[in-house]
Amino acid sequence: DIQMTQSPSSLSASVGDRVTITCRASQSISSYLNWYQQKPGKAPNLLIYAATSLQSGVPSRFSGSGSGTDFTLTISSLQPEDFASYFCQQSYTTPRAFGPGTKVDIK
Amino acid sequence: QVQLQESGPGLVKPSQTLSLTCTVSGGSISSGSYYWSWIRQPAGKGLEWIGRIYTSGSTNYNPSLKSRLTMSVDTSKNQFSVNLSSVTAADTAVYYCASESSTVTGRALDYWGQGTLVTVSS
């Protein structure tokens, strides 16, 4: 099975900051990497699919990069509504697997 | 736009079977464009992929749960279901149903239900 790791596990940032979250797969997953945002008490929401494609309706300050085993989610200018947890997920093979998550909170 | 809604008991006794149903609206479960998935999340923890089912009934299960897991689809009701047997406290979690697109979003989970909390306790 493919294992996913994320770093950092949490971070504190201010509104307007550029934020970068890293996700690593235990083997190559090509570009089959997705990013989700989850707010407390809510279901996850798809932000980025296929490593770099922005889901419809998601603000352009979110972007994704990477391929193979190393991937990055970037928020170019953090907004108040972006304080949440972020999860990566591989969709290269089954069983699908999620990263452990990164919690972004207010500095 | 596809909408999903989980339903089922919120409390299950240890050793019994957890049964949940997801009702799909805004689209046909038989469309062939989606795999229908289950994910769970213990309180304060990360997301665990449980498995998925295609409209044909073909399934993929998480190996860690496979021996206790059964999924089914009812196209007449536009629903799919999960049964998890021999539950323990470790199965207490919020359970989500979701759709995995086989076309538009490159196999991402693009629509989610709101989630339902299932507690395993006597």
The pLDDT assigned to B31 comes to: 84
CA dist., res. A103 & res. A91, Å (int): 22
Q: Mutation test of the interface with chain A: which of B94, B96, B105, choosing the one with the most A Cβ atoms within 10 A?
A: B105
Q: How confident is the prediction along chain B (122 residues), in pLDDT tens digits per residue? A: 899 999 999 999 999 999 999 999 999 999 888 999 999 999 999 999 999 999 999 999 999 999 999 999 999 999 999 999 999 999 999 999 999 998 777 799 999 999 999 999 99
Cβ-defined contact of A34 to B47 (cutoff 8 Å): no
CA dist., res. A38 & res. B41, Å (int): 12
Cβ-defined contact of A53 to B105 (cutoff 8 Å): yes
**How much is the mean pLDDT over chain B?**
96
Q: Mutation test of the interface with chain A: which of B5, B40, B41, B47, choosing the one with the most A Cβ atoms within 10 A?
A: B47
- Split at pLDDT 50, 70, 90, the class of A104 is very high
Cβ-defined contact of B105 to A50 (cutoff 8 Å): yes
pLDDT in tens, B23-39: 999 999 998 889 999 99
Residue B13, both tokens: 């006794």
CA dist., res. A12 & res. A74, Å (int): 15
Cβ-defined contact of A91 to B112 (cutoff 8 Å): no
**Angle, vertex CA A44, rays to CA A39 and CA A46, nearest 5:** 120
Measured between CB atoms, does B115 come within 8 Å of chain A?
yes
pLDDT in tens, A54-83: 999 999 999 999 999 999 999 999 999 999
Tokens 């290269």: give the residue: A92
For residues A69 and A28, is the Cβ–Cβ distance under 8 A?
Answer: yes
**Distance (Å) from the alpha carbon of A46 to chain B's nearest alpha carbon:** 6
